[in-house]
Structure 1
Amino acid sequence: MTSSPTPAPSSTTPAHELPAPARGWVPSCVVFDCDGILMDTEATWAQVQRLVSERHGLEYTAAQERRMMGWSAADVATAIAEAAQADRAAVYADVLRTEERALSGQIVALPGALETVRTFAERLPVAVASNSTSTVLGLKLEQAGFAPHLSTWVSSEDVPRAKPAPDIYTEAVRRLGFAPSEALAVEDSVVGATSAVAAGLVVVAVPSVPDGDPVPAHHRATALTAPAFRELMAGWLG
């Protein structure tokens, strides 16, 4: 039996530190982010943003990279088009073409990711919720070997709003047949974790940028292979 997460933290608790769920809570399903959690594609995505920005005469700084981390292709295209006063549809097409070329032969699962997904999937329904487009997400999950272990995956094109809105996580949990309070999300970015928290999931943060902005979460670990994450898994899976 599952129970709902405890209420929001008090004003004395940092906003990113959410209280752990009630004692005895275990997930009925798990939803993973993709980039930065399952595969090492965040650097590639940043390079895509840089290339497209520079082609449109824009400087791409470290601050912009950090701000746009986890953004969907649609949101990145909108930001570049507005800054460059360019045609948004043309910029979006450029982002998609550049991403597909950049990912060719570059899709590598992060350490422990495939094992973690497989272990959860042996006991619980598992999904992926990503700001990637549908074509790119399917390509990544198939090539990295995750697809056979997943019940479903949801892209930014499958819902009205991309992360940080809750739509992607809400849809993933709906497809798995559970309430959000019964679901666990595994996220690496502020944008993604904000989406999962807003949808009502319990969140484990595994930040891909350790010194980046604090990722809101109920639990946190440094990596999927870290003792803290393995201890959480053991408690949930028995």
Structure 2
Amino acid sequence: MMTPPLPFTPAAVIFDMDGLMLDSERAIIACLAEAARESGHDLPEVLWLSMVGHSEAVCRHLLDEAIGEVERDRVLQRSHVLYDAVVAAGVPHRPGIIAMLDFLDDRGIPRAVATSTRRPLALRKLEASGLLPRFDAICTSSDVEHPKPAPDIYLLAARSLGVDPAQCLVLEDSPTGVRAALAAGMYPVQIPDLLEPDDAVRALGHTILPSLDDARRLLEQRLAANTSPVGAT
């Protein structure tokens, strides 16, 4: 099936972080699962996958339902210790992120991060991975009242860049992030990581691609044609 071309020339590109730029979702799940096992809880993988793309509050609630508040606190505290060691070592990049950022640099296209991670951890992860200087704005769940799938964080990113939301291309891996971008009036391109889009996600009608390299080629084709005015039509 042919991927339709981008219907507009983006004035800015907004990136999710975990699972899109950084191969961190697997590390987060591994740390949570290990912490749970250490506390005597062998929880199913479907529980961990259900947390992908969601805010910390949602993840805490899911753990509350599975093991209760007391055990949840114990598991989260231990998982944070395990994950801090991963972050300090530098979370690996997802394939294609450097080529995409270099491409945007060469063309002077501004970019922002919009992540459900809290600000202190997000900054540590981006700095340790060498990506922090590559962005014009960093927007986190600490900076908005309502997390994804609400549009708040994407609208904040657009304001931070001084760009109309309709002129923003969003790169996301999770369905939650895609819904947030659509609610913000932006054009999302999804590059799935751990969660393959189901029928309900595909019904949203957005573009789904296998990799960041494919997303870069899609943008490159649009910029090469460049026959439409800036902004979604």
- State the TM-score, normalizing by the size of structure 2: 0.81
Shift of 1:101: 2.9
Give the equivalent residue in structure 1 for 2:186: 201
Alpha-carbon shift at residue 94 of structure 1 (Å)? 4.9
Go from structure 1 to structure 2 and tell me whether the alpha carbon gap of 1:65 and 1:118 turns closer, same or farther (over 3 Å shift).
same
1:62-211 matches, cutoff 5 A: 62-87=45-70, 90=73, 93-122=77-106, 123-209=108-194, 211=196
1:17-96 → structure 2 map (5 Å cutoff):
23=7, 25-54=8-37, 58-87=41-70, 90=73, 93-96=77-80
CA contact (8 A) 1:56 1:84 kept: no
Match of 2:207 in 1: 219
Asked if the contact 1:57–1:84 (Cα under 8 Å) also holds between the matched residues in 2, the reply is no
Q: Which region of structure 1 is more displaced relative to structure 2, 75-84 or 211-220? A: 211-220
Partners in 2 of 1:54 and 1:72 — Cα distance? 23
- The number of aligned residues is 216
Q: Give 1:231's match in structure 2, choosing from 210, 213, 217.
A: 217
Aligned-residue Cα RMSD (Å) equals 2.6
The residue type paired with residue 28 of structure 2 is W
**Per-residue CA shift, 1:105-124, capped at 9, x if unaligned?**
14111222012023213421
Distance 1:211 1:218, change over 3 A: closer
Higher helix share: 2
Look up the SS of the partner of 1:26 in the other structure: coil
Secondary structure of the 1:127 match is: strand
Instruction: Give the conservation status (yes or no) of the 8 Å contact 1:117–1:146.
Output: no
Equivalent-residue separation in structure 1 for 2:50 and 2:72 (angstroms): 22
Whether the 8 Å CA contact 1:129–1:168 is kept in 2: the answer is: yes
| Alignment gaps of 5+ in structure 1 | 1-18
> What is the Cα deviation at residue 149 of structure 1?
1.7
List runs of 5+ in structure 2 lacking aligned partners.
Answer: 225-233
Query: Sequence identity of aligned pairs in percent?
Result: 27
Offset at residue 137 of structure 1 (A): 0.9
Q: Kindly provide the amino acid, as one letter, of the partner of residue 118 in structure 1.
A: D
Deviation at 1:88, TM superposition (A): 9.3
Higher relative contact order (CA 8 A, sep 6+): 2
Distance 1:100 1:70, change over 3 A: same
Q: Is the 8 A contact 2:174 2:195 kept in 1?
A: no
Distance 1:135 1:89, change over 3 A: farther
